[in-house]
Chain A
Amino acid sequence: MSECDHIREASLYHDGEMTREEASRFEEHLRQCQACRRELEEIRRLSALLSSIRGPSLESDVLGRLHRTATGAEEGVVVSMARRLIAVAAAIMVACTAWTLGVGGRTEAAAAGEPWELTAVTLRTEVSDAQRVAQWMVENLPSENGNDR
Chain B
Amino acid sequence: MRPHPEESAENGHLPDPDTEVIRLARDGDEAACHALVDRFAPELYRLAYFLVGNAADAEDVLQETFSGAFRHLGRFAELSSVRTWLCAILVRQAARCRRRRKRQMISLEEGTGGASHGAVLVRDETSSADLRMDLEAALDTLPEDHREVIVLRELIGLSYEEIAQTLDLPRGTVESRLFRARRTLRERLKDYMPGIR
Contact = CB atoms under 8 A, between A and B. Distances in A.
A65 B63 contact: yes
Interface size class, chain B? 35 or more
A56 B159 CA distance: 23
Interface string A1-22: 0000000100110011111110
Contacts of A45: 193, 196
Interface residues of A, number: 36
Contacts, number: 114
B117 interface: no
Interface string B1-32: 11111000000000000000000010000100
Contacts of B36: 70
A63 B41 contact: yes
Listed residue (B2, B124, B192) with the most chain A CB atoms within 10 angstroms of its CB: B2
A45 B67 CA distance: 38
A88 to B, nearest CB: 25
Contacts of A58: 41-42, 45, 62
9 contacts: A18-B1, A19-B4, A19-B5, A23-B1, A42-B186, A42-B197, A46-B185, A55-B46, A70-B36
Given A42-B193, A62-B59, 15 more contacts: A11-B179, A17-B159, A19-B1, A20-B1, A42-B197, A51-B155, A52-B131, A55-B132, A56-B55, A58-B41, A65-B63, A67-B33, A70-B37, A70-B70, A74-B67
